[in-house]
A = this chain, B = another copy of it.
Amino acid sequence: VSATARIDARAFLRVKRDGGRHDPGELEAFVLAAARGEIPDYQTSAWLMAAYLNGLADAERDALTRAVIRSGQVFDWRSLGRPTADKHSTGGVGDKISLALAPLVAACGVAVPMVSGRGLGHTGGTLDKLESIPGFRTQLDAQAMRAQLERIGVVMVGQGPELAPADGLLYALRDATSTVERPWFIVPSIVSKKIAEGAQAIVYDVKCGSGAFMKTEGDAVALARQLVDVTRAMGANAAARVTDMSQPLGVAVGNALEVREACDVLHGGGPADVRALTLELAAAMLVLAGRGEAEARAALERALDSGAAWRRWLELIVAQGGDVDAVERDQLPRAPAVVPVPAPRAGVLAAVDGFALGELIVAIGGGRRAKEDRVDPRVGAMVRRRIGDRVDAGDVLLELHLAAPDPAAVERAAAAFTIADAAVAAPPLVIASVA
């Protein structure tokens, strides 16, 4: 029995079973008790199902967020002497924005204490991408994070067990009980981890389209609104962008390929959409940290063009033990087989099934089906055509980077592209802004 008042879990369950509202303090106590192992998993999972079906009101959702934050440590970087900001993406195919964004923002004087996840399902994870750099360490303790933030203003690490541990428990139970997809569960899970990592301002990139979890603009905007509202309720500043995921972001999909593309952006190049979105989200971070919009944009362009952002990236790699030579000399791991996938007919590229493409990358070894799976950093795809492009029969739609020849993979890749007769307009990159 703990020092806190004992929870009557059965009475608590009756409230949500009957469609009632929990007292926020009681909800917080229940979740904290579950995280301490004082509520058995079978009661927690029954509550998750009741809350999945009967919903959580905003005050309950905020209490859940608060409980998950308080279940662990909360980093506090206020004594750093400079503002902190971070970015979170809901995940998409080819979304390597964080890689260039973190050193770029740091180069403009705002510290980025970025805590990221691994890929699971059809989208990649920032940690997996970073680990395609030989030697790169993603586990640092709080003291090492602080020292690095003071010195170079940026860290990119994985979530340790000290941050928001209740989220790990709740997510595992939601995953096992088919109670994942509800905004009142998703929002606390995302926001709690960002608040626990200690950033004072957070920009959310809510992906929308075939390659994202949110398929419609309405759902994506609603999620963005909630992310911003709950983040503010937890005492941090926030903004969000809803951005297009109707096709992969940029050209590269796959871990080492995406690091290479991020390097291009940090050199002032890279695909136009990747550069534009990096600047859009970085500017939003600087604005939340107190800069004017125009001043922020100018500082960011300068940092890219002057090489300051690139140098910060190399400092980050050195600080976290990565092989900086491999990055500078473009010697990241490469797949032995590069196979072109041709267009079967002439026309206009009308759609790219990002979900199918993401699943294909997992199938060829570039992602995980289970947490224990190892990821092959070399494999992936280079997407050579974008929605609205004219193609002739035989034109290369994409190149597959494979560990071994795989004709089925080529067929699956081709099937992800839809070619139409008439002209097609691609959606805008930034669909909506939520302030």
Tally of this chain's copies: 2
Residues of B within 8 Å of A10, CB to CB, are 175-178
A63 to chain B, nearest CB (A): 20
Q: Known contacts A53-B53, A53-B54, A54-B53; is A13 also within 8 Å of B178 by CB?
A: yes
A31 to chain B, nearest CB (A): 15
- One of B13, B14, B178 near A14 (C-beta < 8 A): B178
For residue A394, CB closer than 8 A to chain B, the reply is: no
A49 lies within 8 A of B17 (CB): yes
Q: Known contacts A49-B49, A50-B53; is A42 also within 8 Å of B176 by CB?
A: yes
Residues of B within 8 Å of A42, CB to CB, are 41-42, 44-45, 173, 176-177
**Identity of the chain B residue whose Cβ is nearest the Cβ of A9 in the assembled complex:** B176
A177 lies within 8 A of B43 (CB): yes
For residue A304, CB closer than 8 A to chain B, the reply is: no
**Identity of the chain B residue whose Cβ is nearest the Cβ of A176 in the assembled complex:** B43
For residue A52, CB closer than 8 A to chain B, the reply is: yes
Complex interface residues of chain A between 18 and 49 (CB less than 8 A to chain B): 40-49
For residue A179, CB closer than 8 A to chain B, the reply is: yes
Which of A10, A11, A45, A179 has the most chain B CB atoms closer than 10 A to its own CB? A45
CA distance A173 to B42 in the complex (A): 7
A52 lies within 8 A of B17 (CB): yes
Return the CB mask of A249-277 against B: 1 if under 8 Å, else 0: 00000000000000000000000000000
Return the CB mask of A154-179 against B: 1 if under 8 Å, else 0: 00000000000000000001011111
Return the CB mask of A1-19 against B: 1 if under 8 Å, else 0: 0000000011101100100
B53 lies within 8 A of A179 (CB): no
Residues of B within 8 Å of A40, CB to CB, are 41, 176
**Identity of the chain B residue whose Cβ is nearest the Cβ of A54 in the assembled complex:** B53
Residues of B within 8 Å of A47, CB to CB, are 49
CA distance A41 to B175 in the complex (A): 14
Residues of B within 8 Å of A178, CB to CB, are 10-11, 13-14, 17, 46
A51 to chain B, nearest CB (A): 10
Which of A44, A173, A175, A178 has the most chain B CB atoms closer than 10 A to its own CB? A178
B46 lies within 8 A of A13 (CB): no
A177 lies within 8 A of B53 (CB): no
A300 to chain B, nearest CB (A): 44
Return the CB mask of A49-88 against B: 1 if under 8 Å, else 0: 1101110000000000000000000000000000000000
Besides the contacts A43-B177, A46-B48, what 4 more A-B pairs have beta carbons closer than 8 Å?
Answer: A9-B176, A17-B52, A40-B41, A50-B53
Which A residues are within 8 Å of any B CB, using their own CB? 9-11, 13-14, 17, 40-50, 52-54, 173, 175-179
List 5 tightest A-B contacts by C-beta distance, closest first.
A46-B177, A42-B45, A49-B49, A41-B42, A46-B49
Residue contacts A-B, CB under 8 angstroms, 25 given: A10-B175, A10-B176, A10-B177, A10-B178, A11-B178, A17-B49, A17-B178, A17-B179, A40-B41, A41-B42, A42-B44, A42-B45, A42-B173, A42-B176, A43-B45, A43-B176, A43-B177, A45-B45, A46-B173, A46-B177, A46-B178, A49-B49, A49-B53, A50-B53, A53-B53
